[in-house]
Amino acid sequence: MSQPAELFGRDPVAIVDALVRRGRAAMEAFAASDQARVDEAVTALAWSLYKPENAEALAAMAVEDTGLGNASDKVVKNQRKTFGTLRDLMRVRSVGIVEEQPERGLVKYAKPVGVVGAVTPSTNPAATPVNKAMMALKGRNAIVIAPSPAGLATTTRTVELMRAGLQKIGAPADLVQVLPPPVDKASTQALMAACDLVVVTGSQSNVRAAYRSGTPAIGVGAGNVSVIVDSSAKLDEAAAKIAASKCFDNATSCSSENAAIVLDNVYDDALAALQRAGGYLANAAEKEAIRDTLWVDGKLNRRVIAKDIGVFAAECGLGGKARGARFFMVEESGIGADHPFSDEKLALVLTVYRAQSFDDAVDKVRAIMAVKGRGHSVGIHTREIAHARRLAEELDTARVLVNMAHTFGNGGGFDSGLNFTLSMGCGTWQGNSISENLNYRHFLNITHLAVPIPEDRPSEEALFGAYWEKYGK
């Protein structure tokens, strides 16, 4: 089959129009599918990445293409996210009647949103495209993926495998397509303008472009996760979870802990626990070397972000125990533009703050979110559930995770009630249209059938009585 680029040269609008037309034709062919057939197609997409040899090959390819993360963790991510998302999707209806409320006279019917344009990041060039494609097809939509240029080869191969999976079950392959190379801003923006829904995971410039495109859009926000280690925390358990989450895929996840705020009366013991879990506590000179290496001219240095600790240590000029650690820890007291360690790092560095009280810890989390990550998520290790509830009540955040390894719970987990996803909405706090985990419901239009019910009209006294009594008529 000829690719649009071959048919239309490098005219991005013509290329995208051809892809969208193919997507619409595929949707038309798939439109009569019942729930079982839709679920079969979703499962085919899941298996195309979950299949061990594919998960391993695409993980290795992703690291080779992007230089980000590590292959062993990407295998886990490819399989775990796909398996968890499939679990979620197999438990819900998305075709025909999806909800009935007879007491309100309402019946809800699910309909497709259309051709989805999905922008995906270099950090997850296989897992995110499959994740979004599964959700899109659950609603009988087609999807066209605009990959990060750095992950183009991996994403293109991932789409080939998804298309082969659809062909295997006799479903239209054009339900899943990818922009042809070279992917650039022009072709991505053309896709945003031509599709029916844009879903963006990745750079905030792409998120803003999606909202400006004139097409309905869902964008997600930047992370910069803070986690509080409370006085009542089980310190070794907390340290083990923080370390596992911080180190997973070399901290590529937006849900990776960037700062730990530790209560004063357990500070020394918590630092010791983090060191037992593999953290290396930098001295003042080493902290300066890490800062000067991680940020160059105010921007994160691609030579060290999401790299193995040995690579990072060598770039910083650190040796000995530092090179054998799992991650670095730097003690910090400042927060704001003049204190870069309070920002997101995408690297194996955990900033550690001492809090004099729980009030102080909450204030520090709020200040860190003002630097970056407002609306995203916060963690706490505690045995005082009231402290966790206070964070949920007071902070501008979409998620508060309690006693969890943040990376493994925030985007869905088998011990977390959050939906499996690779895209976390941050609400209007970060300029997003959703404040929950991206899921299949965002890929559905709903028709409401309403029939008459017994009149539900309260008296004026019932509605205004309390107001009248207090303020008069």
Residues forming the active site? 254
Q: Is 111 exposed, middle or buried (0-12, 13-18, 19+ CB in 10 A)?
A: middle
Cβ atoms 438, 135 nearer than 8 A: yes
Partners of 437 in the β-ladder: 424
DSSP 249: G
Cβ atoms 424, 450 nearer than 8 A: no
Q: How far apart are CA 442 and CA 456, in angstroms?
A: 31
Cβ atoms 284, 319 nearer than 8 A: no
Which CA distances in Å does 82 have to 88, 131, 210? 10, 6, 25
Q: Is residue 48 within a helix (H) or strand (E), and if so which, with residue range?
A: helix 35-50
Whether cis (ω within 30° of 0) applies to the bond prior to 149 is no
Which tokens is 211 given? 């909202």
Q: How far apart are CA 473 and CA 464, in angstroms?
A: 9
Neighbours of 472 (CB within 10 A): 6
Taken in order 372, 377, 382, 386, is the CA torsion positive or negative? positive
